[in-house]
């Protein structure tokens, strides 16, 4: 099955593999640097007058932490398969090395360690990805239906399609699929885990035609997870590394929840971290990916008119929201927002009850109202992230993000803060505060922010974030 609007997110996939590979290597580099510098430090310190202060000399190791190595890369994803990102600068790694070797006599090792980091971490050759050949019930069967990609979690499918694409069409990609395990840098486990979770029971799926979409795979998630675990345990590649060089697709926050403990060492492609313990998922080793938008994107030929002063003057909705208000966990902020926004002039909230009721007419109506709105509300869902953000972006409706713990995909490459309004949850639920802030924004600021949104959803030198559904 193909989807002409899916190409943008498919192009995102190759960059994700490069980032995953770099993060996996950074963990190994950190350990190697630790061993090298420890040995040099001890050797030099035995001849140093300050050897009595060995305990103090070790403190930079613990205060620096491995996140100093991983954090710069966690936001350095190349998401356009047609472009290589500019060469990164390993400034954080060099700073870490400088903290380690503080004494003048020890600085003789700095240049050697810098070259070591650059050689291993910042190689420009494509990342070699081996894709496990799983039975179709784990992969393509989940997306065989025409409407299967109309889910917030379809990024797993576009990433898979990208890496499985014709090599001739990916000749400038930062990742390449290889045919043997011996050639591989990372191993992709192509289980469509989010769709499997969605198909487990009715309340997991948004679409009204979920039974047709899921087909024979309805209710099989537990069974498939158990089968996958048993199969992975027998693979020599898994046994060799323990999973540290394996990449899994967990776009839905609860995907693969049955065997998550087993997959802890893997690189996770996910939307946020709220349902994971810190030893399972973190920015040190995992990659934040966007949700797929559910609402049809504004056509390219309408972008110009939509970002004009005349269009802004015609916008008759100040703030718009469509979605489920009754949420659990972090999503309880939605309940409070519905109370404080009720009856506010210029605010439109279209709430629906529960899952499994979304149809094409509802989606089309939502798109039309978004395009009449200045701002679109993006509160936390059950987790800090929400597909509402991406619905707003592709329709050039300025997102108003109400989520204190949200992780923005590709934050190191695109400055969404120039195109979004961020309001703390505590402020947003105070009566009158949110609406007053939005009304006080000058039209020139609103127009400037709206004109930033096409830059987010269209090709740039380093990524694409357009359409998934």
Between 101 and 365, the more confident residue is: 365
pLDDT digits (tens, 9 = 90+) for 235-257: 999 999 999 999 999 999 899 99
Three-state SS at 348? strand
pLDDT digits (tens, 9 = 90+) for 145-204: 888 888 888 999 999 999 998 888 877 778 899 999 999 999 999 999 999 998 987 665
Whether residue 434 contacts residue 427, with contact meaning beta carbons closer than 8 Å, is answered with: yes
User: Between the ranges 292-296, 354-358, 444-448, where is the mean pLDDT highest?
Assistant: 444-448
Query: What phi, psi does 97 have (nearest 5°)?
Result: -60, -40
Per-residue pLDDT for 274 more than 80? yes
Q: Rounded mean pLDDT of 103-122?
A: 49
Per-residue pLDDT for 294 more than 90? no
> Residue 323: which pLDDT band, with cuts at 50, 70 and 90?
confident
Per-residue pLDDT for 110 more than 60? no
> Residue 361: which pLDDT band, with cuts at 50, 70 and 90?
confident
Q: Rounded mean pLDDT of 394-398?
A: 95
Per-residue pLDDT for 33 more than 80? no
SS3 content of the chain, % helix, strand, coil (to 5): 50, 10, 40
User: Between the ranges 73-77, 116-120, 406-410, where is the mean pLDDT highest?
Assistant: 406-410
Task: Kindly list the distances between the CA atom of residue 254 and the CA atoms of 204, 231, 251, 265, 379, in Å, as whole numbers in the listed order.
Answer: 10, 21, 8, 17, 19
**pLDDT over 90 for what percent of the chain?**
42
Q: Rounded mean pLDDT of 392-421?
A: 88
User: Between the ranges 67-71, 91-95, 455-459, where is the mean pLDDT highest?
Assistant: 455-459
Q: Rounded mean pLDDT of 348-368?
A: 77
Residues 331 and 115: their CA atoms lie apart, in Å, by 47
Strands (E) in 89-202, as ranges, are 127-131, 175-177, 186-189
Per-residue pLDDT for 56 more than 70? no
Task: Kindly list the distances between the CA atom of residue 324 and the CA atoms of 140, 332, 334, 370, 382, in Å, as whole numbers in the listed order.
Answer: 30, 11, 8, 16, 10
Q: Where are the alpha helices (DSSP H) in 75-125?
A: 91-100, 110-121
pLDDT value of position 259: 96
Cα angle 129, 133, 137 (rounded to 5 degrees) comes to: 130
Per-residue pLDDT for 452 more than 60? yes
> Residue 416: which pLDDT band, with cuts at 50, 70 and 90?
confident
**pLDDT over 70 for what percent of the chain?**
67
Between 377 and 204, the more confident residue is: 377
Domain boundaries, the chain: 17-121, 126-288, 300-457
> Residue 114: which pLDDT band, with cuts at 50, 70 and 90?
low
Between 335 and 453, the more confident residue is: 453
How do beta strands 267-270 and 287-288 pair? Answer: parallel
Residues 11 and 85: their CA atoms lie apart, in Å, by 13
Residue 341: enclosing H or E segment and its boundaries? helix 332-341
pTM confidence score: 0.71
Q: Rounded mean pLDDT of 278-304?
A: 89
Residues 28 and 267: their CA atoms lie apart, in Å, by 14
Residues 77 and 279: their CA atoms lie apart, in Å, by 22
CATH code linked to domain 300-457: 3.40.50.2000
pLDDT digits (tens, 9 = 90+) for 120-133: 455 568 899 999 99
Cα angle 188, 194, 199 (rounded to 5 degrees) comes to: 135
């Amino acid at each position: 099955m193909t989807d002409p609007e899916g190409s943008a997110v498919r192009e995102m996939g190759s960059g994700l593999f490069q980032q995953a590979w770099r993060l996996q290597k950074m963990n190994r580099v950190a350990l190697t640097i630790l061993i090298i510098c420890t040995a040099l430090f001890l050797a030099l310190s035995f001849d140093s007058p300050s050897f009595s202060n060995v305990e103090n000399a070790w403190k930079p190791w613990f205060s620096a932490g491995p996140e100093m190595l991983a954090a710069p890369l966690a936001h350095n994803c190349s998401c356009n398969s047609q472009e290589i990102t500019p060469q990164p600068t390993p400034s954080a790694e060099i700073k870490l090395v400088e903290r380690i070797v503080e004494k003048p006599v020890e600085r003789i090792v700095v240049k050697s360690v810098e070259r070591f980091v650059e050689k291993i971490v910042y190689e420009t050759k494509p990342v070699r990805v081996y894709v496990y050949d799983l039975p179709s019930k784990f992969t393509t069967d989940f997306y065989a239906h025409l409407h299967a990609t109309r889910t917030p979690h379809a990024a797993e499918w576009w990433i898979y399609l990208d890496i499985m694409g014709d090599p001739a069409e990916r000749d400038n990609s930062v990742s390449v699929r290889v045919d043997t395990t011996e050639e591989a840098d990372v191993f992709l486990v192509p289980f469509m885990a989010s769709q499997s979770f969605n198909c487990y029971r009715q309340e997991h799926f948004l679409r009204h035609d979920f039974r047709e979409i899921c087909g024979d795979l309805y209710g099989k998630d537990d069974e498939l997870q158990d089968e996958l675990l048993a199969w992975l345990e027998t693979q020599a590649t898994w046994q060799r590394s323990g999973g540290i060089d394996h990449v899994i697709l967990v776009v839905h926050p609860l995907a693969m929840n049955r065997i998550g403990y087993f997959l802890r060492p893997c690189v996770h492609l996910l939307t946020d971290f709220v349902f994971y313990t810190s030893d399972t998922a973190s920015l040190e080793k995992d990659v934040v990916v966007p949700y797929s938008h559910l609402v049809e994107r504004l056509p390219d030929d309408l972008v110009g008119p939509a970002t004009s002063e005349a269009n802004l003057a015609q916008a008759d909705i100040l703030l718009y929201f469509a979605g489920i208000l009754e949420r659990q966990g972090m999503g309880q902020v939605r309940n409070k927002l519905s109370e404080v926004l009720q009856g506010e002039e210029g605010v439109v909230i279209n709430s629906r009850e529960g899952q499994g009721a979304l149809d094409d007419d509802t989606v089309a109506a939502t798109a039309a109202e978004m395009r009449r709105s200045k701002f679109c509300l993006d509160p936390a869902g059950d987790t800090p992230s929400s597909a509402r953000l991406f619905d707003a972006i592709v329709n050039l409706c300025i997102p108003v993000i109400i989520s204190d713990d949200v992780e923005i995909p590709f934050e190191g490459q695109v400055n969404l803060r120039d195109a979004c309004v961020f309001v703390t949850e505590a402020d947003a639920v105070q009566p009158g505060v949110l609406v007053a802030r939005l009304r006080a924004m000058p039209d020139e600021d609103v127009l400037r922010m709206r004109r930033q949104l096409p830059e987010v959803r269209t090709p740039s030198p380093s990524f694409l974030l357009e359409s998934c559904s």
